[in-house]
Structure 1
Amino acid sequence: MSDAAKLKSIVVLVSGNGSNLQAIIDACEQGKIPAKITAVISNKAQAYGLQRAKTAGIPAVVVDHTAYLTREAYDQQLLAQISKFAPDLIVLAGFMRILSHEFVENFQGQMLNIHPSLLPKYKGLHTHQRAIDAGDQEHGASVHFVTADLDDGPVVLQSKVPIFENQDAEELAERVIVQERQMYPLVVKWFCQDRLIMLNNKAFLDGIELEEQGYAAN
């Protein structure tokens, strides 16, 4: 079997700039991740992540959510588009859609997301401001498997940054994004190396069940 035949297929879903997408594109091109991104799909035609895909020679697909009357109808079309590429892994990289339970169940254990908080804290939106308003001393990001409940799947990896005095949400977000660009390709690599799995709603790395906050290098 050739090296190319061993590569996993990844489909990335984006809604915006796609900075984490770019980090994963770069890692694949550098051979750090044994995978090929076979498609980038967005719910927004103007998402810059689509241009990143085109620049890298990756098929860029738009499934516009405004063209569908219900979440379920949209998700059925999204599922149909994803299935064309037969991915081993689906990576959510700033995909600003709440996915239906039926959609998520189709890809149990095959879908990863990155969320800008130290889960289980601050699920949903505006996480940076919420951490500041709460007086937290640290903030960060979490990579987790996707399950039916929002931002609730088992955590694989977290990265923390201190919250400085008088720091605003925009400055904090920029520092968290730097961490995200390092974390996400690493977790994707683990999955594509068959080291990372989800079993019974738990994350396992190298056969060892991860703690609630995910992997920690002690």
Structure 2
Amino acid sequence: MNLPSLLWPDPDGIPVPSQPGILGILASGNGSNFEAIAQAIEAGELQAQIAVVITNNPKAYVRQRAQKRGIPCVLLDHRDYPRREDLDAAIVQVLWQHHVEWVIMAGWMRLVTQVLLSAYPDRVLNLHPSLLPSFKGLRAVEQALKCGVKIAGCTVHRVTLEMDSGPIVAQAAVPVLPEDTVESLYRRIQAQEHRLYPLAIRLCLAEGSLLPKSSGKLHN
């Protein structure tokens, strides 16, 4: 039996932000969550603007996705930076140039440093394919199947220095079916990711007036 997936918080209970948020997307790969966010904006479901996309991967398909939508995409190859702090400093400079208010990690395969977190306190979001705090790190879906869980899912959380450990913003639960493989379960989780991330961003934008803005300073 294919049970329905569940979202938390209830989408109907999320208020509309008082003004559109300016987003900067960090993506390393395909960019399907970038696409989902962009589509939610176009449909009027998310009051926001994507000001810039940053990728560390010259071959990332997200570059073509951004180009098709006329959104600036900046390549900052991590191999060109001797320290993670140096990469994050370059990222922050690009975000500031585009007046970004919220940093949205959408398949960003690099650990962030205090440089980015200090520049955007409590304004960096990440999406992870598990119901955190369970199954942190890589191969989360594989971890869930190996443990025999009956409910998997995805989580949007605020980013901290500890990987996949920041305060949870929103979650979607996805039932695990007896015949599931890593690929089939991930496809259903990803479908919920595309629903969840725009909702979580909307929730954060509505609460954003309570949070500090970008500090305007770099901390190495």
TM-score when scaled to structure 1?
0.84
State whether structure 2 residue 33 is matched by structure 1 residue 20: yes
User: What CA RMSD, in Å, does the superposition of the two structures yield over aligned residues?
Assistant: 1.8
Q: Write out aligned runs for 1:112-191 (5 A).
A: 112-191=125-204
Structure 1, unpaired ranges of 5+: 1-5, 200-218
Give 3-state SS (helix, strand or coil) of 1:167's partner: coil
1:14 alignment partner AA: A
Question: Structure 1 residue 62: deviation in Å?
Answer: 0.6
Show structure 2 runs of 5+ residues with no match: 1-18, 213-220
Determine helix, strand or coil for the equivalent of 2:57.
coil
In structure 2, the residue matched to 1:96 is 109
What's the CA shift string for 1:91-130, capped at 9, x where partnerless?
Answer: 1100000011232222111111110000000111000110
CA contact (8 A) 2:89 2:115 kept: no
| Cα distance in 1, alignment partners of residues 125 and 45 from structure 2 | 18
In structure 1, what residue type is equivalent to 2:203? Answer: W
C-alpha displacement of 1:194: 3.7
SS of 1:98 mapped into structure 2: coil
* Map of 1:35 onto structure 2: 48
Task: Tell me how far 1:195 sits from its aligned partner.
Answer: 6.4
Letter in 2 for 1:72: E
Q: For the residues of structure 1 that align with 2:91 and 2:166, how far apart are their CA atoms?
A: 21
**Percent of residue pairs identical:** 36
How far, CA to CA, are the matches of 2:161 and 2:117 in structure 1? 6
| Match of residue 206 from structure 1 | none
Once residues 130 and 187 of structure 1 are traced to their aligned partners in structure 2, the CA distance between those partners, rounded to angstroms, is 25
Q: Aligned partner of 2:149: which letter?
A: D
Higher relative contact order (CA 8 A, sep 6+): 2
Alignment of 1:72 with 2:88, yes or no, is: no
Letter in 2 for 1:93: A
**Counterparts of 1:90 and 1:9 in 2: how far apart (Å)?**
9
The DSSP-based 3-state class of the residue aligned with 2:157 is strand
Q: Which residue of 1 aligns with 2:218?
A: none
Q: Distance in 2 between matches of 1:117 and 1:69?
A: 31
Q: Deviations over 1:151-210 (max 9, x none)?
A: 1111111111111224211111101000000000111122233468669xxxxxxxxxxx
